[in-house]
Chain A
Amino acid sequence: MAPKAAALAEAERLMEAFRRAGALPVEADILQPAEVLLDLYGEDIRARTYVTADPLRGEMMLRPDFTVPVVQQHMTEGAEPARYCYAGEVFRKQEHLSDRRSEYVQVGYEVFTRDDPADADAEVFSLFNAVLGDLHLRAATGDIAILMAAVRALNTLPSRKAALLRHIWRPRRFTQLLARFGGTAPVPPTRATLLEALAAGRTPEAGPLLGLRSRAEIDARLAALREDAAAPPISAEEVARLQDLLDLTARSPAALAQLRELSREMPAILPAVDRMEARLNALARRGVDVEALDFEASHGRTTLEYYDGFVFSFHAADPALPPVASGGRYDALTAVLGAGRSIPAVGGVIRPGLVADLRGAPC
Chain B
Amino acid sequence: MLKLGLPSKGRLMEQCFDWFGARGITLGRAGSDREYAGRVEGAEGLELVLLSAGEIPREMAAGRIHMGVTGSDLVRDKLADWDRQVAELAPLGFGHADLVIAVPAGWIDVDTLDDLDAAAAAFRRAHGHRLRIATKYHRLVRDFLTEHGVADYQLVDSQGATEGTVKNLTAEAIADITSTGETLRANHLKILADGLVHQSQAVLYAARGADWGQGAGTALATLAPRLGITVPAL
Q: CB within 8 Å of B: which residues of A?
A: 38-39, 42-44, 46-47, 94-97, 162-163, 166-167, 170, 172-174, 176, 188-191, 194, 203-204, 206-213, 217-218, 220-222, 224-225
New contact pairs (8) apart from A209-B107, A213-B123, CB-CB < 8 Å = A39-B129, A43-B145, A97-B85, A190-B115, A206-B108, A210-B167, A218-B106, A218-B109
Q: How distant is the Cα of A218 from the Cα of B103 in the complex, in angstroms?
A: 13
Q: A-facing mask of B155-168, CB < 8 A → 1, else 0? A: 10000000000110
Q: Known interface pairs A207-B188, A211-B172, A213-B119. Does A43 touch B112 (Cβ–Cβ under 8 Å)?
A: no
Q: Tell me, yes or no, whether B118 is within 8 Å of chain A by CB.
A: yes
Name which residue of chain A comes closest to B173, CB basis.
A211
Beta-carbon nearest neighbor of B123 in chain A: A213
Q: CA separation between A197 and B97, bound complex, in Å?
A: 33
User: Which residues of the other chain, B, contact A47 by a CB distance below 8 angstroms?
Assistant: 139, 142
A97 touches B81 (CB 8 A): yes
What is the minimal beta-carbon distance from B213 to any residue of chain A, in angstroms? 22
Cβ–Cβ contact A167 & B106, under 8 A: no
Contact B151 A212 (CB under 8 A): no
Instruction: Tell me if B149 is interfacial: C-beta within 8 Å of chain A.
Output: yes
Residues of B within 8 A of A188 (CB): 111-112, 114, 193
Contact of A170 among B131, B149, B171 (CB under 8 A): B149
Choose among A173, A211, A221 the residue that contacts B109 (Cβ–Cβ < 8 A): A221
**In contact, B119 and A221 (Cβ under 8 angstroms):** yes
Instruction: Kindly identify which residue among B81, B104, B152, B172 contacts A42, using a CB–CB cutoff of 8 Å.
Output: B152
Q: What residues of A have a CB within 8 angstroms of the CB of B172 in the complex?
A: 211-213
Chain B residues with a Cβ under 8 A of chain A: 80-81, 84-85, 104-112, 114-115, 117-119, 121-123, 126-127, 129-131, 139, 142, 145-146, 148-149, 151-155, 166-167, 169, 171-172, 187-189, 193
B36 nearest CB across to chain A (Å) = 31
Contact of A43 among B121, B122, B142, B171 (CB under 8 A): B142
Q: Output the least CB separation between B26 and chain A (Å).
A: 37
| Cα distance, A163 to B150, chains bound together (Å) | 11
Q: Which of A97, A212, A220 contacts B122 (CB 8 A)?
A: A220
Docked complex Cα distance between A172 and B147 (Å): 9
Quick one: which of A96, A167, A221 has the most chain B CB within 10 A? Answer: A221
For A208, give its contact among B110, B131, B188 (CB under 8 Å): B188
